[in-house]
Amino acid sequence: MPLHIECPDCGETDDLVGDRGVEGIGITCGTCGARFLRDRRLGCASCAGTDLVLRPQVLTQFSRGTQLSVVGWTETHCCTACDAEALLRSERANAPLPAEYRPRAVRPPSRT
């Protein structure tokens, strides 16, 4: 389940520590020391949008040498804005998302 958490003060996404409290889960930023409550809503890791849909995705593995076999299915969150092209292809073909596709809703864009 995609849950993008970042410090509202400095934007840190890695050096965060959470602890349960009466009001919910409190997050402390190890970079700047800010403390804030975790937002429970799901959001896109790329655009922070909340319009996410579940779409089936195949799970594959090599069963014999180079023979790729479907071994299962999973439901994957996709952003209707960031993953629009993949969602459209999947819906038009009435097929699941390909195994190698990584939705941008789950995987934030790489920082360069």
* Distinct helix (H) and strand (E) counts, the chain: 1, 5
pLDDT digits (tens, 9 = 90+) for 46-64: 888 889 999 999 998 888 8
Domain ranges within the chain, ordered by starting residue:
1-40, 43-112
Cβ atoms of 8 and 34 within 8 Å: the answer is: yes
pLDDT value at residue 3: 63
Residue 108 has pLDDT above 70, yes or no: no
Residue 23 to residue 77: CA distance in whole angstroms: 27
Return the sign of the alpha-carbon dihedral for residues 81, 82, 87, 88.
positive
Considering only the top CATH level, what class is 1-40? Answer: mainly beta
Amino acid identity for residue 94 in this structure: N
pLDDT at residue 1, rounded to an integer: 43
Q: pTM for the whole thing?
A: 0.58
Q: Tell me the three state secondary structure of residue 85.
A: helix
Structure token digits, residue 21: 């409290």
Amino acid at 25: I
